[in-house]
Structure formats: structure tokens, C-alpha cells
Amino acid sequence: MRKVLLPSLIILATSLLVIRIFYLQIVDDTLKLESENNAIKKKYEYPERGYIYDRKGKLLVANQASYDIMVIPREVKNTDTLEFCQLLNITKEDFIKKIEKAKIYSPRLPSVFLSQLNKSEFAAFQEKIRKYEGFYFQKRSLRDYEVNFGANIFGFITQVNEKLVAKNPYYNSGDLIGRQGVEESYEDLLRGIKGIKYIQKDKYNREIGSYKDGKYDTIAVQGEDINLTIDAELQKYGEELMINKRGGIVAIEPRTGEILALVTAPSYDPGILVGRQRSKNYTRLYRDSIAKPLYDRGLLAEYPPGSPFKILTGLVGLQEGVVNENSTYSCYGGFSYGRGRFQKCHCKIFGSVKLHNGIFRSCNAYFSNVYLQTIGKYAKPAYAVDVWSNHIKSFGLGQFMGYDLPTGKKGNVPNSKTYKKVYPNGGWRGTTIISNAIGQGEVLMTPIQLANMMATVANEGYYYTPHIIKKIEGHKIDKKFTTKHVTTIDKKYYKPMISGLFDVYNQGTAFGLRVEGIDICGKTGTAENFAKINGIRTKLEDHSIFVAFAPKDNPKIAIAILVENGGYGAAIAGPIASLMIEKYLRQKITRVDLEKRILATSLQSRYAKLGGLSEAIKLQLRISDSLLQKKKIIPSVKVKIDSTKENKKAI
């Protein structure tokens, strides 16, 4: 037995090797097809990218033919450079530079020499391409935008970067890929699957026909068409209303969570990111660090929500049983909470205030009281804050919402851990964190979170994760978009809140914005902001915020508007909200004067005063005033100075 072990091991191991080699050399043909096998050449057939339609089936994005000139540097011989450059309208320096670049990538593999030529640019060259050894062309389809809006929704198409080529075996150098918007989030469906033809070559590198009679060839699979939840008319109208303003609009259908409109301003015509001017235009957009057209404010701009947050303060108060509809407080121009600390209030009630008028007059004092009661309900404020925090989070706040677009921000909902960091020794109470009551403090929300909050209120306690995909032929949309999320607030508490929001239009802060025949529930908001100008901390014009849903019964649309430096809530955001709602529900506008005024409003002079100060820097300053900063314990709430991270990968 002992003598046999090593010989048997040797025979066993050898047999194993022989079997494996037999498999590699005789059985398995697929290895012979690998891209690096230079005896077999792969030719790709690129499928057309899927079309994009809106919710009503209107075509938004289609394709046009385009041609890439490819080069295999090793095979380039005896080129009449002068004629070649003339045909393609490039300089000789360009020619040399491009060949060098291709050589660096690989002398024996094809690289893109010149990309995205349209039909007329390509026509002249096509006739002579046979003369130029080492060059060939590849037909592709390029995006053809049927509309001049929605750039932030669509995203754009660009050449895949080398990092991804190394990681993902599907992509080859020079392939196109969707970046940002739905082009990125639905890339796998839209792009289809490219077909491959295997061509046998002899050792002199000549093509001698199809490999094994095309046994392994695959046919390109067409990209899938998709329908978005976007209403093209509404989207277009929203972008028009936002001309010469900065900010974002998000409209959601409450019943389904479908995003009806997603506007960011300023934006750009998606058509400018197609063709040979693409990279020049992209660079211009990318470098604009002031207006930041590539920054989707609807998804990314985190702000303290201000007054609209009072809706949640009220709902949590009702749910926790610390107040009911009839609980009464008084407000005389503000609210004092111990040792001379006073919070101003502009509700002009000067008397007793209940939930109903507290909401439609946006009374700071009322909601501060409710919040104090909520935090005071339990012996330990830490526990109470966590209870409150969990209620708020059940609205999808303070976390990524999980929608199907590639960018987003979490916002912020503080909890006891937050304050434990600020006050390691304890000692904080409801009054310490009173700003949360009215949406200042540490709470941060993005416009899409605000819109989703309104959708939840409209639904009286549930929401569907907002999403932009309506339909994909032959596929079901992701289950997570048809899963109901129920809040921790009982349904019955929404009724009085909605009634208060309704009277915002009838008697309250949006009185002047009523639309005859449509019952709108809304809430104004104003976010203070500051900037350091010439070293002095200066208060700037407030951001105008408005949230709404309509109609009151059986709501069809929930909306959130943010206009940077637009003034108080009812000044610009409120009118835009009511116009959007009217447009969506009636498809026409009755208040032509209001529409005209808003279309004509330009805030560019205000923005000019800010100089190169980007919104995010101001935001940082404002947050630096918050509690966390004053205590110097949390170094700085992380706010991106610009959209660098969101857009870097697109370069």
C-alpha cells in the first residue's frame, strides 16, 4: 500500500491533466472565439437603441444613423494623408495625433479614429474607404431627440470609459453607453445586445471566411423601447416656467408613485450632446460651476424644507396623541421658550390657534408647541426623538428613496444619535432642538422627497416609491415600484391636516393662487439662506418653496417646487405650482396673466449679484449656522460643493 501511493497519485494527476487538455483543445470551441485570439476576428453588429416614449405614448427619443471610422494602426499602409484629411475635414496634426492615440491603446486592435459622423459627413469618405488600408467604418445609431426638453431625465450617450471596458466584458473600447438619467438606469434594456460574427483569418492576417460556417455567430438583439411616466406636455411646461430661474420641480402621481415631471433649471437641449460637437458642448456644461446645468436640482438639492415640514410635525403630534384637532395654543407674533429665547412668527393670528388655522397661516408658535409636547411625552428626550424620527422616516425621508434614476441624496432626519454626538454629556431637551418643528434645524430634504411627502399626505398614509419607468414591452417593472409603503401615522389623522392644507388656498398663505374649479391643497415654504460676500455674512433672498396636491378628493398630482432666491413661498413657487396643476388637470391655462408674469420673471439679476457663488456653497454656510456646527463637534455637514461626484463618471 505504501509503495503504491505516489505512483497512483502520479497516474491520477496525469490523467486529470490529459483530460483537461483534451477538453481545452478538442472539445471546447468557445476558447477559440475569444477576442484576443488573433486568428479569428470578431465583427460586431450594433443593434439600434430602444426608443423612449412618454406616458401617453408620445415619442421623445429616437435614433439617427451615424458612422464611426475605425483604425487598426498595424494595418495602416501607404495612406494618402492629404486626401484622407480633406475627405474627413480634419487637419494633418489631428490625423497624426489620432493614430498615435490608437497605437497607444493597441497596435493590433481596432480603435475609434473618428466618431459619430452623420450621413452627409460620411458620404464622401464612404466611396473611397477601400483605398485606405487599416481603416473601416462601423455603422451605429445615435440618439435623435424629438423634443428639446427633458435632458436631465434622458441623460446622454457617450463612449464607454476604459475602466468599465476592463471590468465589464460586454463593452469594447469605443462602444457607446448611456450616462445619467434613464439612459444610464435602463442601459441594459435600451442598448440591446450586439451581434458578433466570427471571421477566420490565416496566418498572414487575411480573412478567409466565416468561422465554422457561422456556427457561433450571434444576431444583434434590438434594444427595448420604454415608456416613461413623464407627461411630456407637463414637463415641457415646467421647463418653460423655470426659464431664467434656478431650481427644481417634481410632480408625482400619488396613486402610483409615477413621476409626472422632473424639472431642473437651468437645463439644456438634449440635442447638443449628439454628434461631433458633443464633447465641446459637454465640456461647456460641465465647466459651468455657477448655473450647473448638469446638476439635477429636483433630485440632488438638499435643503431644510422649512414650513412644509410643519405638516409632518402636526401629523406626528396627532399620532402620538399629544394634541388633537381642537387643542389650542396662542400666538402673539412668536413663541418664547424659556430664558428669553424667542422664535418669531409671521402668522399674524394674535390669538388662539388650532391645527386648522395653524396650518393655513403657517404658525411657527403652534407647531413649536406641538413639537415640544411630542418630545416631552416621554421621560427621556432621546427616546422621544427616536420615536419622532421613526415617524418621519416612514415617509421615506432621510434615506435614498430607491427610485430608478442614477443620482440622489439621502437628505437628513436627525435622531438621538445625532444629538448624542453634539451633546455627549446629555442635557438637551425639546427646546434645544426646537428648530426641527418648523423644518429648519437639522432636517434636510430634496425636492423629490418633498413631492413624495405630499403624495403620501394625498394618499392619506401610503406611498409608492417614485419611479420614472411606466412600461417596458415584454417586461414587468420592478416589484419595488408596486409595493405599498405605509406610514406610521394612522389614516384618520390625515383628514384634519388635508382640510388645513385646503384652506391654505381659501384663507391662507396662497389665497391669491386659487384655480377656479380645482380644489388644491398646498403649503408654502421659505428657506432662509446666507452667503459670505466680500467676507461679510449676508442674508440673501429666500428660496421660494411650495408643495401641493390636487384635486383634494381623489388626488391626481402631488408637486414640490423650489426656486432658488425666489422670495417667499407664494411669490414664485406657489404660482408655478398652481399653473402646473392646472396644466396637468385641464391641459389649458385660464389665468393667462399669471402665466405671462411667471414666464417673464427673470431672477438672473439676483443670481448675477451672487457672482460665482454656487448654491451649494451658500448652503454650506447656512448649515454651518445650525446647531451641530455651533457646538463644533460635527466638523461640517457634508454638502457637495458642486455636482462633481454626480458627473465625474460621465466624462
Partner 1 sequence: MKNQSITNNIDWISIVIYVALVILGWLNIYSSSISSMQDTYEKQLIFIVLTIPLIFIILAVDGKFYEKYASIIFGISLLTLAGLFLFGKTIAGQRCWYAIGSFTIQPSEFAKAATSLALAKFLSDTQINLKDTNRQIQALAIIFLPVLLILPQPDPGSALIYSIFIIVLYREGLPGWYVLTGFVTILLFILTLLLEPQYVILIGLGVLIIVHLKSRLADRNIVLSSILLVLISAFVLSVDYVFDNLFKQHHRDRFNILLGRAVDLKGIGYNTNQSEIAIGSGGWLGKGFLEGTQTKGGFVPEQHTDYIFTTVGEEWGFAGSLVVIALFTGLFLRIIYLAERQKTKFSRVYGYCVAGILFTHFFVNIAMVVGIFPTIGVPLPFFSYGGSGLWGFTILLFIFIKMDANKVNEW
What track of x and - describes contact with partner 1 for positions 38 through 57 (by CB under 8 A)? Answer: xx------------------
Closest approach of Cβ 163 to partner 1, in Å? Answer: 11
Our finding on whether 280 is near partner 1 (CB under 8 A) is no
Under the criterion CB under 8 A, does residue 219 sit at the interface with partner 1?
A: no
Per-residue b/e over 567-583, b at no fewer than 16 CB within 10 Å? bbbbbbbbbbbbbbbbb
Burial (Cβ within 10 Å: 0-12, 13-18, ≥19) of residue 410: middle
The smaller minimum CB distance to partner 1, of residues 41 and 58, is found at 41
Exactly one of 17, 536, 592, 600 binds partner 1 (CB under 8 A); that residue is 17
Q: In the chain, what's the furthest Cα-to-Cα distance? A: 105
The answer to whether 301 and 646 have CB atoms below 8 angstroms apart is no
Instruction: Specify the residue, 20 or 645, whose C-beta has the smaller distance to partner 1.
Output: 20
Compute the least distance from the CB of residue 27 to partner 1, in Å: 9
- Whole-number Å distance between alpha carbons of 468 and 383: 37
Binding residues for partner 1, rule CB under 8 A, total 33
Torsion of CA 623, 626, 629, 630, to 10 degrees: 140
Comparison of 59 and 165: residue with beta carbon closer to partner 1: 165
| Site stretch for partner 1 (CB under 8 A), options 8-16, 139-147, 264-272, 384-392 | 8-16
Q: Say if residues 618 and 529 touch (Cβ distance below 8 Å).
A: yes
Q: At its nearest, how many Å lie between partner 1 and the CB of residue 170?
A: 11
Determine if 13 is a binding residue for partner 1 (CB under 8 A): yes
Give kind and range of the element (H or E) at residue 320.
Answer: helix 310-320
Residues written for the chain: 651
Candidate list 18, 219, 533, 641; residue touching partner 1; CB under 8 A: 18
In the block, cell 491603446 appears at 105
- 227, with CB counted inside 10 A (0-12, 13-18, 19+), is buried
- To partner 1, the closest distance from the beta carbon of 1 in angstroms equals 8
Note if the bond before 308 is cis, omega within 30 degrees.
no
Q: State the minimum distance, in angstroms, from the CB of residue 2 to partner 1.
A: 5
Cβ count within 10 A of residue 232 = 21
* Selected range binding partner 1 among 13-21, 144-152, 174-182, 273-281, rule: CB under 8 A: 13-21
5 forms part of the interface with partner 1 (CB under 8 A):
yes
If the CB atoms of residues 40 and 585 are measured against partner 1, the closer one turns out to be: 40
Q: Could you say whether residue 222 binds partner 1 (CB under 8 A)? A: no
Instruction: Answer whether 68's CB lies under 8 Å from 138's CB.
Output: yes
- Secondary structure (3-state) at 195: strand
204 binds partner 1 (CB under 8 A): no
CB 111 to partner 1: min, Å? 15
CA distance between the termini of the chain: 67
DSSP string, 487-528: -SS-GGGHHHHHHHHHHHHHTSTTGGG-BTTB--EEEEEEEE
CB of 10 to partner 1, least distance (A): 5
Give the range of 6-14, 309-317, 322-330, 613-621 binding partner 1 by CB under 8 A. 6-14
Task: Say how far apart CA 145 and CA 151 lie, in whole Å.
Answer: 10
- For partner 1, the closer of residues 31 and 96 by Cβ is 31
The single residue among 31, 104, 208, 651 that binds partner 1, judged by CB under 8 A, is 31
Q: Is 11 in the site for partner 1 (CB under 8 A)?
A: yes
Residue 2 near partner 1 by CB under 8 A: yes
The SS3 call for residue 406 is coil
Q: Which is nearer to partner 1, 203 or 588 (CB)?
A: 203
Q: All 3 cell numbers of residue 397? A: 425621508
- Report the C-alpha dihedral over residues 325, 329, 330, 335, rounded to 10 degrees: -120
Query: DSSP state, 291?
Result: T
- Are 395 and 485 in contact, with CB atoms under 8 Å apart? no
Alpha-carbon gap, residue 46 to 168, rounded angstroms: 17
**Cell triple for residue 571?**
411669490
User: In this chain, which of 9, 96, 123, 164 binds partner 1, going by CB under 8 A?
Assistant: 9
**Collapsing DSSP states into helix, strand and coil, what is residue 376?**
helix
Q: Shortest Cβ distance from residue 650 to partner 1 (Å)?
A: 22
Site for partner 1 in 89-108 (CB under 8 A): 108
Binding piece for partner 1, criterion CB under 8 A, among 11-19, 87-95, 552-560, 628-636: 11-19
Which residues neighbour 358 within 8 Å (Cβ) at sequence distance 6 or greater?
310, 314, 329, 347, 366, 367, 500
Is residue 20 involved in binding partner 1 (CB under 8 A)? Answer: yes
Q: In what order do the strands lie in the sheet with 195-201?
A: 40-45, 195-201, 207-210
- The grid coordinates listed for 388 are 419622532
Min dist. Cβ of residue 106 to partner 1 (A): 11
Choose the binding region for partner 1 from 14-22, 153-161, 321-329, 628-636 (rule: CB under 8 A). 14-22
Going residue by residue from 310 to 339, which x/- string records binding to partner 1, judged by CB under 8 A? ------------------------------
Neighbours of 101 (CB within 10 A): 14
Binding flags for partner 1, 159-178, as an x/- string (CB under 8 A)? ------xxx-x---------
Residue that the C-alpha cell 439612459 belongs to: 183
| Binding of partner 1 by 348 (CB under 8 A) | no
Q: Cβ of residue 218: shortest distance to partner 1, in angstroms?
A: 18
Cα distance between residue 121 and residue 123, in whole Å: 6
Under the binding rule (CB under 8 A), the answer on residue 203 touching partner 1 is yes
The stretch near partner 1 (CB under 8 A) out of 10-18, 213-221, 259-267, 388-396 is: 10-18
Least distance in angstroms from the C-beta of 140 to partner 1: 23
Give the single-character DSSP code of 341.
Answer: -
- In the range 105-124, which residues lie near partner 1 by CB under 8 A? 108
Nearer to partner 1 by C-beta: 39 or 633? Answer: 39
Element (H, E) at 152: helix 151-154
Judged by CB under 8 A, does residue 24 bind partner 1? yes
Question: According to the binding rule CB under 8 A, does residue 26 interact with partner 1?
Answer: yes
Q: Smallest distance from the beta carbon of 6 to partner 1, in angstroms?
A: 5
Nearest to 558 by CA among 584, 539, 536: 584
Instruction: Output 41 or 101, the one with its CB closest to partner 1.
Output: 41
Q: Least separation, in Å, of the C-beta of 515 and partner 1?
A: 57
Smallest gap from Cβ 21 to partner 1, in A, equals: 5
199 binds partner 1 (CB under 8 A): no
Verify binding: residue 215, partner 1, rule CB under 8 A: no
What does the binding site for partner 1 look like in residue numbers (CB under 8 A)? 2-3, 5-7, 9-11, 13-14, 16-18, 20-22, 24-26, 28, 31-32, 34, 36-39, 108, 165-167, 169, 203
